[in-house]
Structures are given as C-alpha cells and as structure tokens.
C-alpha cells in the first residue's frame, strides 16, 4: 500500500476532515493517530480522529449486528433467479423497494428501463468421436440456439484470435474451441479475467469470420472445475450469428488432451432464445443529506444476476453492501451533509441498459453527483478502493479514505478507470468514480456459475464490505 504524507496535502486534509456526522456517538476510539498528524493543525487532528472513529464504529456495528448476511439470504431466497427480463427480476425489484423502505431511505422509487429478454434452454454437449465423453457446457448470454438436435462438427482448438485468423480456411465448418486460460501469474484476478474474457465476449464473431459453426469457450475462471461459467457475448452486424457456449475448465483440459491425439467431433445443442425486450426498473433509494440534499454520492451494484446460481456474490453482495451501508449509517446516527443515493441497476450482466437509463434520466443533475461508488467484485474481504481520479484530486481522496487503513482496507488505486460497468456511464460524464476492491482470489471460483450461492459468501467478509462502503460514502458525502 502506498500512502502520501507530503505536507502540501495537509490543507486539503484539514478541509476534508472538518464537519461530518455531528451526532455520531462512536464507542471505539482510535488507539493511534496517522503519521501525518505529527505536524497537522489541531482542528484537523480532532476531525481526523472523528473519521477514524466513525470507520471503526461502522466496522464494529457491521460485525456485531451481522445483518448483511441476513439481507443477502433474504434476497437469494426471495429472488434466486433474477436475470434481467425474467419473472424473478420483477420479484427482486419488489424485494429491493421493500428493503429500502425497511432500512429507512427517505425516498424510494422504481425508474423504468426496457431490458433484454434472453432465456436459457436445453444445453448438452459431448464428444462423439473418437469416443463419447460428456462435456459440461452452458450457453453464453445472448447466444442464438443451435438447430434442434444440435450441431455435430469437428473441433479446432485455438488460443488467440490471431492464431485463428492465421489458420485460413482450416476452421471452416468446424467448432472453434477457444482455450486460452486466465493467466495464473497475475496477482489481480480481475486483470487475468480481462486477459481471457475477449474469447467469451467476441469468440462468436471471430469464429464466424473464420467460417466456424459454433464458438466453444473455455470458462473464464482461475479454477479447474466442473462448472461452466456463463457470461455476456456479442454479435456484430454483417457477420453470421453462430451459437456460443462455455465449457467447464476440467472438460476443456480433457478436450484439449483428446485433440492432441487426433481429430475430435463434438455434438452440442443449445435451446436458448431471445424474446422482445420487456419492462424493467432501476431501484433507487435516497438517504437525504442534512445540509446539501441536492448533492449526491451514488453507491450502487446490480440487482440482476446470471441464472445458473443465485448471484450471491455477483452481485447480491454488492446490493447488500449498499443497502447495509445506509442501515449502518442510520444505526450509528450518522446523516452526512450530502444525499447518499443507493442505485440497484437493472441490467448489468447482459447489457448495460440500467446504467444507460439512469444516466439519461438524471442528465439534468449529473453535475450534482459529487462521486459514484460501485461494488461488483463479490462479497470477499474488502481491501480498499480504485479511483478514477489522478494527481492532486486523487491525493485528496486518498487522504479522505485513509481511516480505512484501520480496518485493513486502505488500498487506494488512483487513475484506475471507471470503477465498475454501471457507473462507467457517469465516469464518461465526468463524475469521480470509485470501485470497491475486495480479495479476488476466490471470486472466479464462483463467478457466473451454479455455485455462486449463499454458501460461497462469508458473513464476516460481507459485513466488512458493507462497513467500508458506508465509510467511503459518508466521508465523500461529508467532504
Ligand atoms: Zn457483476
Ligand atoms: Zn457478472
């Protein structure tokens, strides 16, 4: 972790730390002061202590109350299947509205947005020659179906689009098997995901360009497991739409080993389909600011989830982080100066309709968004935040977030882009954006699978994430 201690920041620090939740009654006092306070004016020392105390109190309440896991359990039991456009999403919307009222948001509303309606169907696959070996597959979101009975074709394995393009006609009429693993050596699994995920998102386009009849993609996960990991994929105008499926990494390795010995033929059937768009909603709840209620700090995650599991990590955890953040702030009697707005976005997984609709509906007040925070990395132990800002602006924010050091969440990654897909539209409009950074080593064990379920989430880690969001949102809203 890198910390800035240059004295030029102390003025900004003093500004940042004055004010806050006057009526907060933290029971835990910090045992030590940050090193910057050796030469900090006394008022800033007192204010900083108050922010540190708030941070510690939020953590204590989050762990002691243990409400976060109960909220997540309620979500995944009430609306276990909530892909945008599905009946389960309508149930999730009602759940979210009720939960926002229960925790005491001052204003709660559902904001309309048309969302895609893609539905999964039958999905089976196996090698048919040289011998029969079942393959665990799942359709990628947005895929067209195969003909009834499936596609039977020889498989050609590639590790990159460049390799495929260099093959000329060799892939014509074949199933293109994209088998590049996530790079294991990258410490940040999100970066490793980014290195492999183009196979999933664009594999069908590249397969079709090469004359292939189907894209079969190694699941994008660090684990060698038996669960196919779904996810979004795209088509391109003017290029044939071929079906696309993910195969479990264990089966991908087995298929690759078979191909090393000679030609392999696979039969694969997908019954998925795309129906006309349907009405969905972003669910929005405001915790009104005490002094500048028209100025906003947005905290958000996405309410939709892939349909294989219950989306406990992705993004049930993010939904819970945001709801629990408001509950925690109310529990410690902290009402910041600016409004904290919880936005549970309608459609992140197979589109970005929720984010786009929010930005359009709130274009008139986009300049009132002083910051946006997204949590869409799962419910593991929080480590800190990424931040879109650079330079002095980032340094001031880093100081504001420094109390998170006391709860082992002081990582601060400046110049790190939008912080999340749903707030990327606000980033594009100039809003300072932050992304919750959590331990990512286990996230892709569950990501977009049948095992992204409540059992995969640790209640203490989830609670800590909520406390960290609560601190960050309140600090930004008091700034
Ligand atoms: Zn997500
Ligand atoms: Zn996802």
Locate the domains of the chain by residue range: 9-116+277-478, 121-271
* 3-state SS assignment for residue 279: strand
Q: Which ligand is nearest to the CA of 317?
A: 1
Q: Report the pLDDT value the prediction gives residue 438, as an integer from 0 to 100.
A: 98
348 C-alpha to ligand 1 centroid (Å) = 7
pLDDT attached to residue 48: 86
pLDDT tens, 381-438? 999 999 999 999 999 999 999 999 999 999 999 999 999 999 999 999 999 999 999 9
Distance 179 CA to ligand 2 centre (A): 20
- Dump pLDDT digits (tens) for 118-170: 999 999 999 999 999 999 999 999 999 999 999 999 999 999 999 999 999 99
Compute, in degrees rounded to 10, the torsion defined by CA atoms 334, 336, 341, 344.
-40
Ligand nearest to the CA of 301: 1
Is the distance from CB of 301 to CB of 319 less than 8 angstroms? yes
Give the pLDDT band of residue 15 (cuts 50, 70, 90): very low
- How many Å apart are CA 374 and CA 343, to the nearest integer? 9
- The predicted pLDDT at position 290 comes to 98
pLDDT tier at 21 (50, 70, 90 boundaries)?
Answer: low
Considering Cα of 62, then 95, then 373, then 189, what sign does the dihedral take?
positive
Tokens representing 370 are: 């002083």
CATH architecture of 9-116+277-478: 3-Layer(aba) Sandwich (3.40)
Residue 56 has pLDDT above 90, yes or no: yes
Residue 230's pLDDT is 98
- Cα 233–239–242 angle (5° rounding)? 55
Q: Of the given ranges (181-190, 251-260, 280-289, 326-335), which has the lowest mean pLDDT?
A: 181-190
Asked whether the predicted pLDDT for residue 110 surpasses 70, the reply is: yes
Is the pLDDT at 44 greater than 60? The verdict is no
84: phi then psi, degrees, rounded to nearest 5: -50, 135
**Closest ligand, as measured to the CA of 300:** 1
Residues 143/204/209/198 CA torsion (nearest 10 deg): 150
DSSP code for 227: -
Mean pLDDT of the chain: 91
- Taking the centre of ligand 1 as the mean of its atom positions, its distance from the CA of residue 371, in whole angstroms, is 20
Average pLDDT over residues 71-75: 98
Which two structure tokens, joined as six digits, stand for 429?
Answer: 């409009």
What distance in Å separates the CA atoms of residue 50 and residue 435, rounded to the nearest whole number? 24
Share above pLDDT 90 across residues of the chain, in percent, rounded to a whole number: 90
- Report the separation in Å between the CA atom of 203 and the middle of ligand 2, taken as the mean of its atom positions: 18
The whole-number average pLDDT for the span 111-119 is 98
Rounded mean pLDDT, 52-78: 98
Ligand of minimum distance to the alpha carbon of 420: 1
CA of 143 to the centre of ligand 2 (A): 16
Q: How far is the CA of 302 from the centre of ligand 1 (A)?
A: 7
Answer whether CATH 3.30.420.40 is correct for domain 121-271.
no
β-sheet bridge partners, residue 344:
283, 301
Please give the positions annotated as active site.
348
pTM > 0.85: yes or no: yes
**8 A C-beta contact, residue 245 and residue 228:** yes
* pLDDT value for 14: 31
């Amino acid at each position: 972790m890198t910390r800035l201690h240059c004295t030029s920041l102390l003025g900004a620090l003093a500004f940042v730390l004055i004010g806050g939740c006057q009526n907060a009654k933290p029971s835990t006092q910090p045992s030590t002061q940050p090193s910057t306070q050796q030469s900090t004016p006394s008022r800033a020392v007192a204010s900083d202590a108050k922010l540190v105390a708030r941070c510690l109190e939020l953590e204590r309440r989050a762990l002691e109350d243990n409400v976060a896991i109960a909220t997540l359990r309620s979500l995944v039991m009430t609306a276990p299947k909530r892909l945008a456009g599905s009946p389960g999403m309508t149930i999730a919307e009602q759940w979210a509205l009720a939960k926002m009222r229960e925790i005491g948001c001052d204003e709660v509303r559902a904001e309309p947005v048309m969302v895609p309606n893609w539905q999964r169907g039958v999905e089976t696959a196996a090698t048919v020659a040289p011998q029969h070996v079942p393959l665990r597959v799942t359709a990628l979101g947005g895929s067209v179906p195969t003909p009834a009975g499936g596609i039977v074709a020889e498989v050609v394995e590639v590790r990159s689009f460049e390799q495929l393009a260099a093959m000329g006609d060799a892939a014509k009429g074949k199933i293109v098997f994209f088998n590049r693993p996530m790079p294991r050596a990258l410490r940040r699994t999100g970066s490793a995901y980014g290195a492999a995920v183009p196979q999933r998102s664009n594999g069908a386009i590249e397969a079709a360009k090469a004359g292939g009849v189907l894209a079969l993609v190694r699941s994008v996960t660090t684990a060698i497991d038996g669960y196919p990991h779904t996810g979004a994929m795209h088509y391109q105008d003017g290029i044939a739409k071929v079906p696309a499926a993910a195969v479990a990494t264990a089966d991908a390795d087995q298929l690759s080993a078979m191909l090393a010995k000679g030609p392999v033929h696979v039969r694969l059937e997908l019954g998925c389909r795309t129906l006309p768009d349907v009405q969905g909603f972003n669910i929005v709840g405001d915790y009104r600011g005490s002094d500048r209620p028209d100025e906003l700090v947005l905290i958000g995650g996405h309410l939709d989830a892939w349909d294989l599991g219950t989306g406990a990590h992705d993004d049930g955890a993010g939904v819970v982080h945001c709801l629990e953040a408001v509950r925690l702030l109310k529990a410690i009697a902290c009402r910041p100066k600016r409004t904290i707005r919880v936005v549970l976005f309608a459609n992140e997984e197979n589109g970005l309709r929720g984010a786009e609709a929010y930005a359009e509906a709130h274009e008139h007040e986009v300049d009132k968004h002083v910051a946006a925070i997204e949590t869409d990395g799962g419910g593991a132990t929080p480590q800190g935040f990424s931040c879109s800002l650079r330079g002095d602006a980032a340094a001031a924010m880093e100081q504001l977030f420094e109390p998170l050091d006391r709860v082992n969440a002081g990582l601060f990654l400046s110049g790190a882009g939008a912080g999340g897909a749903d707030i990327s539209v606000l980033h594009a409009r100039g809003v300072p954006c932050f992304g919750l950074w959590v331990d990512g080593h286990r996230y892709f064990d569950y990501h977009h699978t049948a095992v992204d379920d409540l059992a995969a989430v640790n209640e203490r880690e989830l609670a800590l994430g909520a406390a960290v969001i609560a601190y960050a949102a309140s600090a930004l809203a008091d700034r």
